[in-house]
Amino acid sequence: MKRITVIKAVLFAAALIPAAALAYGFYQVYTGADPNALTPNPGDYITDQTGTWTLALLVISLVITPLRRLTHWNEVIKVRRMLGLFAFFYATLHLLTWVWLIHLFDPVEMIKDVAERRFITIGMATWLILFALALTSNTFAIRRLGRRWQSLHRLVYAAAIGGVIHYWWLVKADITLPRRWAVAVAVLLGARLWWMWEKRQRHSFHKEGKLAG
């Protein structure tokens, strides 16, 4: 088996661990086997965990391109789509906790929440971006959209920023954790901006060179 195939399989299993742990805890609470399995406030805990893992997987998927560039390990790109889809998977679980464990499927409450609370508004927008990216992540869509696919999928940067702002706006006093995610996203997007700027510099240098010559 190819090395990247093995890595991919391992990552797949690892990315499922948080969901599996939550599912097991949910089962224990639901059956009454251990009512405190997910802390005495399981609804809050699940919301927090699924949100955190969404951010984690978004950030990890954003690490892939710089990693490839720095190490010239080209085949690593083959795990990027899977990681992005896992980010969407956790974002969807996170959305479901909001629909079910916070609003008990009440549409009026949900609409009110999206309209009135900016952290919910931006959270919802972020999920919609991830949804669009997940829908167009298959080979068919990539072929069909052609050059537009790349522009569309640059929205992942907006999703990462949106996720961090969503977290920042919802915490009560302690910004330690959202700040950590903000730094991670800033470094990853900063690196891309730096490379873009570098590329443009080289480009204009060549142009000027030609004119002079």
* Nearest Cα residue to 93 out of 16, 184, 172, 176: 16
Residues in contact with another protein, shown as a per-residue x/- string from 32 to 71 under the rule CB under 8 A: ---xx--xxxxxxxx-------------------------
Binder to another protein among 114, 145, 170, 191 (CB under 8 A)? 170
- Dihedral sign for Cα 5, 10, 16, 18, please: negative
Q: Do residues 160 and 59 make contact, with C-beta atoms less than 8 angstroms apart? A: yes
Q: Is 136 helix (H, G, I), strand (E, B) or coil?
A: coil
Q: Is 172 in the site for another protein (CB under 8 A)?
A: yes
Look up tokens 């190490």; give the residue: 71
Total chain residues near another protein (CB under 8 A): 23
Find the binding residues for another protein in span 99-118 (CB under 8 A): 101-102, 104, 109, 113, 117
Q: Determine the Cα angle at 112 with ends 84 and 55, to 5°.
A: 20
Q: Estimate to the nearest angstrom the gap between the alpha carbon of 186 and the chain centroid.
A: 14
Which range, of 85-93, 149-157, 168-176, 178-186, touches another protein by CB under 8 A?
A: 168-176
Nearer CB in complex with another protein: 175/183: 175
The residue ranges that bind another protein (CB under 8 A) are: 29, 35-36, 39-46, 101-102, 104, 109, 113, 117, 119, 170, 172-174, 176
